[in-house]
Amino acid sequence: MSLKAQSKTLRILQEQTFARVGGDKTIHVDVRVIAATNKELEAEIEKGTFRDDLYYRLNVIPIRVPPLRERVEDIPELLDEFIKETSLKANLELKEISGNALKILKKYHWPGNVRELKNLVERLVIMTPEKVIHATDIPPPFNQESVSKDFESILVGDSYKEAKNRFEKAFIEKKLREFNGNISQTAETIGVERSNLHKKIKAYGLEDFRS
């Protein structure tokens, strides 16, 4: 069973004798088994994707590790550690996180938990030219304030056509960034013909985002 860094449960078992799962021969051992998963094992058992006899062997001392969104007080300490680690690895000057940037990171829901935070820190440390990482350096979707301001700018205008064009331009630009300028992937994802996407890119002046 694979170990997951971001886990919902941690199960510990210590025995000196046990029978192999599915077998009838007793094997004498002296071990401690630590197993972690991000799955709801009870639900997996019902679906038939996890063996119930193995579950009952492992489920001796269950420990739930809460997701990052439920322990935002840990974020400052994690940031310090990840910044030091990334700076040392990339041979860069040690950076700092501003107070406003920290507030924004605490508001994010972190579906990818600690791994998602670590990846963002690596990006910020490498891509931010200044010593201090400010709120404006944090990109969407982590920076919800930035998303709100971008959306408000789309709504500027007196006509429906202007608002529609602004939205379409922002949407295409976002998707091009997401797929590193790959026209084929972008066209397939948003459901338009490749030739039509080329026309819109030219019309909106987005040629620089193409790979």
The amino acid sitting at 55 is Y
- Backbone Cα Rg of the chain: 24
Q: Are 209 and 173 in contact (CB under 8 A)?
A: yes
Q: Looking up tokens 């193995």, which residue turns up?
A: 54
Are the CB atoms for 129 and 92 separated by under 8 Å?
Answer: no
* Residue 98 three-state SS: coil
The tokens describing 11, both together, are 């199960």
- For residue 49 the two structure tokens come to 């994707």
Distance CA 134, CA 124 (A): 10
Burial class (CB in 10 A: 0-12, 13-18, 19+), 187: buried
Q: How many Cβ atoms sit within 10 Å of the Cβ of residue 26?
A: 9
Query: DSSP label at 162?
Result: H
- Which domains can be identified in the chain, with CATH numbers? 9-65 (no CATH), 69-144 (1.10.8.60), 155-209 (1.10.10.60)
User: pTM of the prediction?
Assistant: 0.53
pLDDT digits (tens), the chain, 211 positions: 444 444 444 444 444 445 555 667 777 778 888 888 888 899 999 999 999 999 998 888 888 888 999 999 999 999 999 999 999 999 999 999 999 899 999 988 898 899 999 999 999 999 888 899 998 888 878 886 655 555 556 556 667 787 788 788 888 887 887 777 888 888 888 898 999 998 998 888 888 766 5
DSSP 34: E
Helices 194-203 + 183-190 axis angle, to 10: 100
Order of strands, sheet of 61-64, starting from the edge strand that comes earlier in the sequence: 26-37, 9-19, 61-64
